[in-house]
């Protein structure tokens, strides 16, 4: 059970680094690179649909993609469930959908619905009590089937101390991990790790509001999980732009051949031989 696998990894004190994926292929690349978990980024999934990270996709659209991602890999998938897509009852039902999709964990956030990317400006958050009740509703719904992660965006809205207070309330309500979004200094990261009495998740990528801290330092602080939500997608966008430029200018992508996987390697990545063998085994 992937929730159990993730809980064990958190409990043993080894930092879990989870790069962000947005489809089954990117999830499989993460697994084959040796990572022990993948982060299914709601923002990256939205951008993959041509939409900004503003809560524009429905829960069914997101869950369908989460199911594809979870089915593609054996490692635990940490899923972005935004605000739960409404009130406590909406979140409760959404959590069951995510559990059926096969992910190991979900995180919910205390923004108002619809939400914004955690590194956008002008965010708004609900009351501590409202979000704590949402956590209780979800925990009651999924039990131990999912690792429940509570994200607070309060640093940018109410300040650092309020975010610490909210984190304590969310842990008391049943969150197993606290996602402390967008601390703005190394000192804030260190204080959060010391003051929050629960495993800590940080969102860390170049260009965001949070400084990038070496993994060894984060592990020494006791940080449990680090997610890197969008680096793979940003790299893929750049590579596609370069390839399209070559095709437009040359008529083909030949000048980039050494920067592309081969046809054979691509088919090996997605397991075509395995599927063909199964087809032979079960053909009519």
Q: Is 53 a catalytic residue?
A: yes
- Give the burial class of 2: count Cβ atoms within 10 A of its Cβ; 0-12 exposed, 13-18 middle, 19 or more buried: buried
Which 3 state secondary structure label does DSSP give 152? strand
Among the listed residues 238, 244, 208, 247, the one whose alpha carbon sits nearest the alpha carbon of residue 226: 208
Q: Is 23 a catalytic residue?
A: no
Q: Is 109 a catalytic residue?
A: yes
Q: Is 203 a catalytic residue?
A: yes
Q: Which of 2, 28, 65, 80 is flagged as catalytic? A: 80
Q: Is 267 a catalytic residue?
A: no
Q: Which of 151, 166, 170, 176 is flagged as catalytic? A: 151
Q: Which of 2, 7, 82, 85 is flagged as catalytic? A: 82
Per DSSP (E only), the strands in 31-76 are 38-40
Measure the CA–CA gap between 3 and 176, rounded to whole angstroms. Answer: 12
Report in angstroms the alpha-carbon separations of 240 from 48, 237, 245, 255, 260.
13, 5, 9, 14, 10
Among the listed residues 189, 232, 171, the one whose alpha carbon sits nearest the alpha carbon of residue 31: 232
Measure the CA–CA gap between 125 and 169, rounded to whole angstroms. Answer: 15
Q: Which of 28, 117, 139, 166 is flagged as catalytic? A: 117
Q: Which of 28, 107, 119, 166 is flagged as catalytic? A: 107
Write down how long the chain is. Answer: 284
Q: Which of 7, 28, 109, 139 is flagged as catalytic? A: 109
Q: What is the DSSP letter of 259?
A: G
Q: Is 80 a catalytic residue?
A: yes
Q: Which of 110, 153, 176, 181 is flagged as catalytic? A: 181
Q: Is 145 a catalytic residue?
A: no
Beta carbons of 76 and 3 less than 8 angstroms apart: yes
Q: Is 39 a catalytic residue?
A: yes
Q: Which of 53, 110, 153, 176 is flagged as catalytic? A: 53
Q: Which of 21, 39, 92, 153 is flagged as catalytic? A: 39
Give the residue numbers marked as catalytic: 39, 53, 80, 82, 107, 109, 117, 151, 181, 203
């Amino acid at each position: 059970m992937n929730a159990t696998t993730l809980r064990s990894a958190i409990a043993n004190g080894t930092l879990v680094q989870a790069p962000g994926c947005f489809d089954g292929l990117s999830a499989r690349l993460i697994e084959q690179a040796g990572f022990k978990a993948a982060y299914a980024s709601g923002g990256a999934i939205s951008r993959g649909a041509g939409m900004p990270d503003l809560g524009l996709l429905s829960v069914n659209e997101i869950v369908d993609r989460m199911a594809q991602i979870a089915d593609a890999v054996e490692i635990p998938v940490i899923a972005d469930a935004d605000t739960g897509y409404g009130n406590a009852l909406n979140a409760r039902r959404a959590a069951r959908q995510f559990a059926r999709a096969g992910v190991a964990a979900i995180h919910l956030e205390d923004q108002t619905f619809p939400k914004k990317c955690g590194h956008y400006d002008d965010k708004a958050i609900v009351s501590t009590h409202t979000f704590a009740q949402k956590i209780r509703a979800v925990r009651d719904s999924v039990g131990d089937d999912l690792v429940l992660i509570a994200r607070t965006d309060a640093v940018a809205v109410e300040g650092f101390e309020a975010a610490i207070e909210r984190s304590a309330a969310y842990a008391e309500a049943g969150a197993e991990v606290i996602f402390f979004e967008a601390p703005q200094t190394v000192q804030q990261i260190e204080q959060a790790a010391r003051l929050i009495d629960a495993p800590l998740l940080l969102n860390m990528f170049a260009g965001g509001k949070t400084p990038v801290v070496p993994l060894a330092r984060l592990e020494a602080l006791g940080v449990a999980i680090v997610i890197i939500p969008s680096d793979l997608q940003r790299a893929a966008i750049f590579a596609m732009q370069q390839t399209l430029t070559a095709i437009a200018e040359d008529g083909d992508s030949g000048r980039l051949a050494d920067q592309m996987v081969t046809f054979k390697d691509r088919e090996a990545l997605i397991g075509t031989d395995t599927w063909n063998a199964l087809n032979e085994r079960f053909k009519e």
